Structure 1
């Protein structure tokens, strides 16, 4: 069995937030955590903080939803959390 990575816990918490419809790998797929045999798109944990790239549902309050993502992830990691809204889609 593969050990669960912190990035997977972060991804699950972010996807549970109302208005978040998905994680986004960025324009070139660069926003990701690479693990043995798998990749967690939209989450990148680095020395300068944690990046979270999301796709939101059309009609949600973008700033409030991004703030919710930021505070949720900040409770799980040390350091700053940078949230990027990559796309907004109709569901």
Structure 2
């Protein structure tokens, strides 16, 4: 069973298909062009864990290769979207190397 992560405790991290979803979420949230993570329509853009959800990060089931990561974000007003996508993919690539990353922008704030 996966336990909820506590700040500063990586031993409690939630790893799904080799991806630490808490670290990915924190890394994306820290991107300068990202205003925040978003759960998307009907809250489906999230990783479901025992007792909690990680909003804005979804890890797909691997089909013979690395798991695909979908990150759903709200862009900062005025942010060039192509630059935002590059920034998020680069940041996720540091935390989850080798995994393909899709970036969905749901709003601008």
1:58 matches 2:72: no
SS in 2 for 1:28: helix
- Give TM-score scaled by structure 2 length: 0.75
Greater C-alpha radius of gyration = 2
Segments of structure 1 that go 5 or more residues without pairing to the other structure are: none
> Are 2:101 and 1:81 equivalent residues in the alignment?
yes
| Alignment coverage as a number of residue pairs | 89
**RMSD of aligned residue pairs (Cα, Å):** 1.4
- Given the alignment, which residue of 61, 68, 72 partners 2:91? 72
By percentage of residues, which structure has more strand?
1
Gap regions ≥5 residues in structure 2: 5-11, 15-19
Q: TM-score, normalization: structure 1?
A: 0.88
Cα deviations by residue, 1:36-55 (Å, 9 ceiling, x for unpaired): 11101110011250000000
